[in-house]
Amino acid sequence: MKQAERGILSAYDLKKPANKIAYAAMSLVIAAMVVSMLYPIAVAFFNGVKANVEVNTFPPRFLPKEWHWENYVTGWKYIDLTLYLRNTIYIFLGNMVATVLVLGLASFSLSRLNWPYRKAAYYFFLVTLFIPPTTYIIPNFINLKDLGLMNTFWAFWLPAGANAFFLLLLKSFFDGLNQELFESARIDGASELRCFFQLAFPLSVPIFATLAIFVFSNAWNEWFWPSMVLGGEHYPLSTAIKRFVIDARRLDTNIRFAILTMVMIPPIFVFLIFQRYIVRGLHLGGVKG
């Protein structure tokens, strides 16, 4: 028989009035947080199945009187979601390749190779984390314009290879790998590239899975930078929603909510499916003191 794990508070502890009050207060706070997070999603969904007149009535109703599922069909036809979804996937895949090849190899060299001024390079990348990301916008824009990469996906793939946070997270993970594995491989004649692709990378699936979720979230949610460097049919999903749905003047409100609901659902399912990798990857890749 499997023994149940003991929590922070036992049944005996919960009998004390002070612990009961504290436990009830924590439960109320958690419940309030859950409601505050689910409420916007529920509002978008229910407004997406209402008639447009009902959405704009006052006082507003939470649940619809009639369910108009055809709003989602209208919203799907209003904007080419498949095109902008494909662009978002392209950005995600390119960023992920840059993360694995550029950041993975760079972090592996910082962790496992001995080369001059390695610690100086490590602290340089560490210092860049304290620079506000907004200060990079104008220099990156000018560099990409001079390189002729405007309105191309390279405007995302190249900066993805310069993510200092991902670099240090991967280095910290590689530091925890068994050094004897790499020494044995080198004795057998394996090159450093072979050590990375055949040893380090397979052992680093949890941390790369975690970074994949972060990269996907950034590619899905980012709209400001794409609006500066891309245009027209190259827009990712969030930028297209901002330009053609949020800023639209003659689009019914219920159709707006239907489109927004369709855009919100996929990342929720991605997180629910892969959420265990976030906790595990951050735990394994935590910066060691």
Q: What is the pLDDT along the chain (289 residues), one digit of tens a residue?
A: 455 555 566 666 667 777 778 878 888 999 999 999 889 899 889 988 888 888 888 887 888 888 889 999 998 988 888 899 999 999 999 999 999 999 999 998 888 888 888 888 888 888 888 888 888 888 888 988 898 888 889 989 988 888 888 888 888 888 888 888 888 888 888 888 888 888 888 888 888 888 888 898 888 988 888 888 888 788 999 899 988 888 888 888 889 999 999 998 888 887 777 777 666 655 554 444 3
Q: What is the DSSP code string of 178-212?
A: -HHHHHHHHHTT--HHHHIIIIIHHHTHHHHHHHH
Please give the angle made by the CA atoms of 288, 101 and 204, to the nearest 5 degrees: 45
Straight-line distance from the first to the last Cα atom of the chain, in angstroms, rounded to the nearest whole number: 40
Q: Which fold has domain 75-284?
A: MetI-like fold (1.10.3720)
Domain ranges of the chain: 13-48, 75-284
Query: Which among 212, 217, 218 is positioned nearest to 277, based on CA atoms?
Result: 212
This prediction's pTM? 0.79
